Amino acid sequence: MDINYKESIISYYDNTRLDYRLLWYRNNHNSVHFGFYDDEVTTHKEALLNLNKVLAKTGEVKDGDVILDAGCGRGGSSIWLAENYNVEVEGITLVPHQVEKAKKLASKKQLNAKVNFSEQDYCKTNFEDESFSVIWACESMCHAMHKADFYKEAYRLLKPGGRLVCADYIRTDRPLAAEGEALLHSWLDGWSINDIDTYPEHEKNVKDAGFTSFKLDDITKFTEPSLSHLHSMSNKLWGLGTFLRKIGLRNDVNHGNHLASIKQYEALQDKLWYYGLLQIIKD
């Protein structure tokens, strides 16, 4: 990964951790992702945890699996997997403070025998070939500069019959009209995401990596309430955020994250992207 891009990702998560903690993952579940709303979910917290359930079902997670949480953040999904299944989990992230927080949470919950965290690039890990039966990527592959590199490494790391499950953002077309590209990147740039790929681009990269199985479902209708919730909160706090930036209590990274949290939903409403769930199986 380009060193400047890597540093921008680390800087983003370093500078925005207070925002996430205060406004998103309260109650110590550490879920740095959107929520999945269905007939059984009524609250923000339930929706965040419900996305874990959806990914686990899609990835056919079962007792005995060895799982790579690729882009694990603060370890929320890794811990959830270790608590709900008899599995081994390796969580990796580029961000040192996230590794530290994830390790502390695992120790607090007495899960060190089941889950481990390390600072690694999911496009170039130090794990041996065919180390995992499941690779899990929840809103993390988007940060890969070249999604093809992620798929190639996933193919190397998966055992035969292994499953790759991803929840991520999918652009509807390339190129978009100029104003569409500008709106899309006003979101992506603020979250330190280089770009997102279309369905055909994902499909090509998956096949080029060696996989023969590829399924991508549009689950936007289930995540839209969560996307809308972030947009609403961000709009309401925009005036305060702008004032705090003016007096030096928020920096450009904080401001960019705040703006992006508004623009993601505007871009969704303009049908520039959708929320996708990918299921891929290695023969």
CB 150 within 8 A of CB 120: no
State residue 237's pLDDT score. 95
State residue 26's pLDDT score. 61
CB 151 within 8 A of CB 209: yes
How far apart CA 182 and CA 136 sit, in angstroms, is 30
Interacting residues of 268 by C-beta distance below 8 A, sequence separation 6+: 220, 224, 227, 274
Residue 119 dihedral angles phi and psi, to the nearest 5°: -90, 105
Nearest to 175 by CA among 205, 192, 190, 195: 195
State residue 209's pLDDT score. 98
Q: How does strand 132-138 pair with strand 215-218?
A: unpaired
Asked whether the bond before 200 is cis by omega within 30 degrees of 0, the reply is no
So where are the chain's domains? 3-281
pLDDT per residue rounded down to tens, the chain (283 residues):
889 999 999 999 999 988 888 877 765 567 789 999 999 898 998 999 999 999 999 999 999 999 999 999 999 999 999 999 999 999 999 999 999 999 999 999 999 999 999 999 999 999 999 999 999 999 999 999 999 999 999 999 999 999 999 999 999 999 999 999 999 999 999 999 999 999 999 999 999 999 999 999 999 999 999 999 999 999 999 999 999 999 999 999 999 999 999 999 999 999 999 999 999 999 9
Using CB atoms within 10 Å of the CB of residue 128, give its burial: 0 to 12 exposed, 13 to 18 middle, 19+ buried.
Answer: exposed
Assign domain 3-281 to its CATH superfamily. Vaccinia Virus protein VP39 (3.40.50.150)
Q: What is the dihedral of CA 136, 140, 144, 149, to 10 degrees?
A: 0
How far apart CA 81 and CA 85 sit, in angstroms, is 6
pTM (2 d.p.):
0.96
